[in-house]
Amino acid sequence: MREFIIGKNDAGQRADRFIAKAVPAIAGGKMYKFLREKKIKLNGKRCEISTRLSEGDSLRMYISDEYFSDAPKDSLEDVPASVDVVFEDENILLAYKPQGLVVHEDNENSRNTLINRITAYLIKKGEYDPSEEQSFAPALCNRLDRNTEGIVVCAKNAESLRIINEAIRSHKLKKKYLCAVVGCPRERSGRIETYLEKVEAENTVYVRKTRTPGPKTAITHYRVIKTAGELSLLEVELETGRTHQIRVHTAYIGCPILGDGKYGRNEINRRYRMKYQALCAYSLTFETDPCGLLGYLSGRTFSISEPEFVKKLFGGAN
């Protein structure tokens, strides 16, 4: 028998989700079988799948020890504990992600990812100890493509993670991007709305003009800040957050992002010797509940200095 006492970072989640993270060996069918057979009990009683756990709850599992791993958790000693911090406090960390760095492990299974760097950084600072957590680990709340630079939000505790994820779902986390595109949009500012469909086998997103099963609505707002020859500098704000949305939408209006090898114009990319797409998530504004844990962030905007491609191609945004 193993007992788990629900801690602060475990509370608030469904029982089945906690169990899947705390004892991954029984995730899926075995877990539901053990729950039905009452081999997993919450505070001495039958544990329902959807029960929300509270701090201090006792979750006992009357199952074989073979399902429990006593191996030490990954200390990430081989991962650089270096993070370019934009803002940090006890609840969140805003990090600058450079071009070429993946946020999570991908098909290449690289351990040198942004989330691993942040986790190693927090371990080194003594703010996170994997051995003391049953189900929580520092988590990224937004993602950027490998070749996109900019601000990424990391939650340091479960409550912050829930608040920020809800803010993203309710469009209360406003993200702005700068990008260099080939050509200039017909309108100096505008709204692009289409349906986007991702083909997983190709890792490519396609524009669909009509709604059919599968494609999702995508809405992008843009304005032209500056032009320089055949290039334009755009500020972009997303109303939705679909995969490759900015890259696909700028290409859709005939102004692909410079350096984009998938949706752009490679002959022009080569001419400018651009290996990465000229796209940066440069500004982030919180519109969170002013009464919640992160209420002190409500209305605050965080931004980074102009990316190098803006200085190089346009001599700055102003």
Q: Read off the pLDDT band of 287 (50, 70, 90).
A: confident
Domains in the chain, start-ordered, CATH in brackets?
2-67 (3.10.290.10), 84-169 (3.30.2350.10), 173-314 (3.30.2350.10)
Rounded to whole angstroms, the Cα distance separating 303 from 298 reads: 15
Q: Is the pLDDT of residue 81 over 70?
A: yes
Is the model's pLDDT at 77 over the cut of 90? no
Strand segments, DSSP code E, in the chain are 2-5, 40-42, 45-46, 58-61, 84-88, 92-97, 139-140, 149-155, 173-182, 189-199, 204-208, 216-228, 231-238, 279-286, 301-303
Residue 102 identity (one-letter amino acid): V
pLDDT, averaged across the chain = 93
pTM for the structure as a whole:
0.89
Helix (H) or strand (E) holding 202: none
Q: Strand 2-5: give its sheet, edge to edge.
A: 2-5, 58-61, 40-42, 45-46
Q: Which two tokens mark 177?
A: 């991007």
Instruction: Please report, for residues 3, 160, 163, 182, 298, the alpha-carbon distance to residue 291 in angstroms, rounded to integers and kept in the order given.
Output: 35, 13, 11, 44, 9
Q: Is the pLDDT of residue 231 over 90?
A: yes
Supply the pLDDT for residue 73. 75
pLDDT of residue 108: 66
177 in Cβ contact with 247 (< 8 Å)? no
